[in-house]
Amino acid sequence: MATREAAIARAETYFDEGGFLADLQRRVAIPTTSQEADSMPALREYVQGEIGPSLSKLGYQWQVFDNPRPKYGPFLIARRIEGDGLPTVLTYGHGDVIRGQDEQWREGLSPWKIVREGDRLYGRGTADNKGQHTINFGALQCVLKEGGALGFNSVILVETGEETGSPGLEEFCREHRDELKADVLIASDGPRLQPGRPTIFGGTRGALNFDLRLKYREGGHHSGNWGGLIANPGIVLAHAIACIADERGQIRVPQWRPTTLTPAVRAALADAHIEAGEDGPQVDENWGEASLTPAERVFGWNSFEVLAFRTGNPDRPVNAIPPMATAHCQLRFVVGTEPSGILPALRRHLDKHGFQAVEVIPAKEVVMKATRLDPENPWAKFAAASLERTAGRRPAILPNLGGSLPNDVFTDTIGMPTVWVPHSYAACSQHAPNEHLLASVAREGLRIMTGIFWDVGEKAQAPT
């Protein structure tokens, strides 16, 4: 008789006997660097030559579609439909990765070949996102091998442009809404709250990037002859930034301060303790909103960051007052902060404080909208119970992740609740040299995802 325990045992065997590592190695070896101009053949090979054929073996019908925006990578939709009356689960992953940064990896490591050292599986995409969707596809495989069927309808969407802001994803999902429609999204990306604790998050913070620019004149002027006589744009722009956030990073723009940190959200975050793991940064207790806990600051609040600041020539400074200063900035924001109002609110705030000369310039990056799932949502409670049953300990439950994903495409464009179960951790070096996935987390990820997919099929209806 097929059992949940036996399906989970299959997941353990799949990892322990090298099946997971073999599948992931094939995928990591394909250099799907969507930020590179010549990446299109690799992006297409990933979905057309690797993921599609792998899902065919599990009984999925699949098709690769061109991106509505011709310069960007394709999409794959795979479907396994088992019955009209069954719940439908959409699973998402992105096959693209950031640049390999080959020459910056530690000696003995390569972005395109998995190397295992202790608990670490090194390789580009192991954490973001090839390892994570390989775990989920492996879990589906284990449920099918044990039970002969999933017990629900499964739809899989793989995109190849997430690292460039998911261009074309919203248009594609709007066009293929009927094919992608589901009762819930169950997918994986991002880090766990702590390496050893399973985590669920129901949405993501939004992200909006912009530039601040202050230009006073053409060309620099000798600081001995003109110092104290003409304004220094670097100093003035620094003061403009200081009026946006104070000395501990607390936001001073009134409209940027959220009103949606509700008692329910605070209750969910009361059990959230942030731990980056080995080699990860430590939380600065004296940074951020003073009245909030660290978890509330990153999951329930907005954060303003200066990502780059330039005035003069930092690499070759000269004794001249520079003509211009620029800062590349970002606001990460939670549900309740309207994206279209962010920059107008900043403009008003700067004007009020006498910085009318500072230009506010929207960046070209796609704006990621904020989403959030109520921790009391039936799917959130269902997933939490399933993870606790498999892992033997209560998972961390976050209304939203601190980072950003195109989650609004699923919640708004298609229309469904979203449950994310991350399989990485905060110190994984994602987007940097020496990216890695923890083998222990990958193995447990296979167990808990097999458990949750088994539970959906066993229930055979959406939770209420």
Residue 299 scores a pLDDT above 90: yes
Hey, how many other C-beta atoms are within 10 angstroms of the C-beta on 424?
Answer: 27
- Spatial neighbors of 314 by CB under 8 A, at least 6 apart, are none
Same domain, 244 and 264: yes
Of the residues 342, 362, 382, the one at which a domain ends: 362
Give the pLDDT of residue 276.
73
Is the pLDDT assigned to residue 278 strictly greater than 90? no
Question: 252 with 266, same domain?
Answer: yes
Q: Which residue has the tokens 């969407």?
A: 157
pLDDT of residue 462: 83
pLDDT in the model for residue 282: 87
Q: What is the CATH number of the domain that holds 259?
A: 3.30.70.360
Region of 224 on the Ramachandran plot (φ > 0 left; ψ -120 to 50 alpha; else beta): alpha
Distance CA 303, CA 191 (A): 18
Please report the pLDDT score of residue 364 as a whole number. 75
What percent of the chain has pLDDT above 70?
100
pLDDT of residue 76: 98
- Pair (335, 397) in one structural domain: no
CA contacts within 13 A on the Cβ side of 75 = 24
Task: Please provide the size of the chain in residues.
Answer: 464
> Could you tell me if 335 and 450 lie in one domain?
no
Q: What is the C-alpha to C-alpha distance for residues 399 and 403, in angstroms, rounded to an integer?
A: 12
pTM for the predicted model, two decimal places: 0.90
Q: Domain count of the chain?
A: 2
Rounded-to-integer distance, Cα 66 and Cα 230, Å: 55
What's the rounded Cα separation, in Å, for the pair 246 and 422?
Answer: 33
316 DSSP assignment:
S
Query: With bands split at pLDDT 50, 70 and 90, how would you rate the model's confidence at 374?
Result: confident
Of residues 455 and 280, the one with the higher pLDDT is 455
- The CATH number of the domain holding residue 375 is 3.40.630.10
Per-residue model confidence (pLDDT) at position 404: 86
Q: Are residues 101 and 167 in the same domain?
A: yes
